[in-house]
Amino acid sequence: MGSGSLFIFVIGFLAQAFFSARILCQWILSERAKQVVSPAIFWILSIAGSYLLCLYGWLRNDFAIILGQFISYYIYLWNLKEKGIWNKIPMLLKAFLILTPIAAGGFALNDLPNFINSFFHNEDVPLWLLIFGSAGQIVFTLRFIYQWYYSYRHSESLLPAGFWIISLAGSFIIIAYGVIRLDPVLILGQSVGFLAYSRNLIIGYRHSKTLKNEE
C-alpha cells in the first residue's frame, strides 16, 4: 500500500471514528435515560464524519459513498437547528457548512464528462456493484429522511424505532458491498453500528412497554 492509499484510508477510518463515536454516545446516553434519545453531540459528530467520508469516497472514486453523504448532510444541519446548536455557530462557519456540498456539486457538473468517467466507468467498481452499493447507501440514508419527517411532524429531533430498523437493513447491504470491495473502512464502520441499532430497538420497546404499564 502506497503512502497515497494509506492517507486515503486514514481519512476514511477517521470519518468512521466520528460515526462510531456518535452512535456510542447516543447509545450510552440512551442507556442512562432508559429511553432512546437524540443528543446534540450525535448530530455534531455526524457533520464531522460526513465531511470526511465524502472526501474519502471522492478520493476512492466511489460514487456510492458520496451519494449517501450528500442526501443526509442537510438533514444533519436541520437537526442541529432543532437542538438549538445552529444559532450558536458563527455566521462564517454557517456559510461554509451550507455552501460546501453545493460547491462540490458545482465542481462535478463543471467537468461532467470526466466525473461520469471517473465514477461510473471505474474499472475497480463494475456497474452492477455500483448499483448494489448505491442501493445500500440509499436505503441507509432513507433512515435520516424518515427521521426528519418523523421529527418534523413532532416538532422535535427524535430517533424513532423505524430509524433503527432501516439502519439495520441498509447496514447489512453496505457491509456486503464492503466485503466485495475489500473495503475495511465500510466493513468496520458498519459492523460497529449493528449492535447499537439492535440495542436501541430493545431500549425503545422497553420504554414503550413501561409507559403503557403506567397508563
Q: How many CB atoms lie within 10 A of CB 85?
A: 16
Cell matching residue 215 = 397508563
Query: Cα–Cα distance between 181 and 56 in angstroms, integer?
Result: 14
pLDDT at position 149: 95
Residue 123 has pLDDT above 80, yes or no: no
| Count of structural domains within the chain | 1
Residue with cell 455500483: 130
Range of the domain at 179: 3-214
Cell matching residue 135 = 442501493
Cell matching residue 23 = 452512535
pTM of the model: 0.79
Residue 79 has pLDDT above 60, yes or no: yes
User: Are 141 and 170 a contacting pair, CB within 8 Å?
Assistant: yes
Residue with cell 471517473: 118
The identity of residue 20, as a single letter, is S
